[in-house]
Amino acid sequence: MRLCHVRHGNPWVTRPVSVSSVEENKQLVRRLVHEAVARRNPDALDELAAGEFAQAAKRWVQPFQSAFPDFEMEIVDLIAEGDKVVAHFRCSGTHRGEWLGVPATGRRFEQVNEIYIFTVRGGKLVSAVGVEDNLTRMRQLGL
């Protein structure tokens, strides 16, 4: 197992982190996409995430999947360092149910880019900050 140094808190102080733990962190994000999103199993979040992040993710997943039942999330890139995983996703789905108060349009959005930065603690996802190309999504949906 190789060790690398990662900044933690103070930008001038580093701590060793194993390469295998960085890979395990990336695997959490892969499992989030494959189990919670692709397999439509929000209960997988109990194993993959913790705290308020887990609860917020569950509150988001089910209504979004109801509005876009064929929603797909493709992993384009995963980059990890220390307790952070940066994910680039491309998402697609057909608007078949109410979403944000808007009735179903039947239109589809394709290949919409999303970038998220996840934080991992204790082997679980505990937070995420994301940027989504919602302008493209809304234009494709005709909204």
Q: Write out pLDDT tens, residues 18-64.
A: 555 999 999 999 999 999 999 999 899 999 999 999 999 988 888 88
Which residue has 């997988």 as its token pair? 44
Q: How crowded is the C-beta side of 84, counted as CA atoms within 13 Å?
A: 12
* Interval 97-108 mean pLDDT: 93
Stated pTM of the model: 0.81
Higher-confidence position of 17 and 56: 56
Predicted local distance difference test score (pLDDT) of residue 49: 95
Separation CA 108–CA 102 (nearest Å): 14
Predicted local distance difference test score (pLDDT) of residue 2: 39
* Listed residue (134, 25, 5, 135) closest to 86, CA to CA: 25
Confidence label for 11 from pLDDT (cuts 50, 70 and 90): low
Which residue ranges form the domains of the chain, and what is each CATH number?
3-141 (3.10.450.50)
* Interval 108-131 mean pLDDT: 96
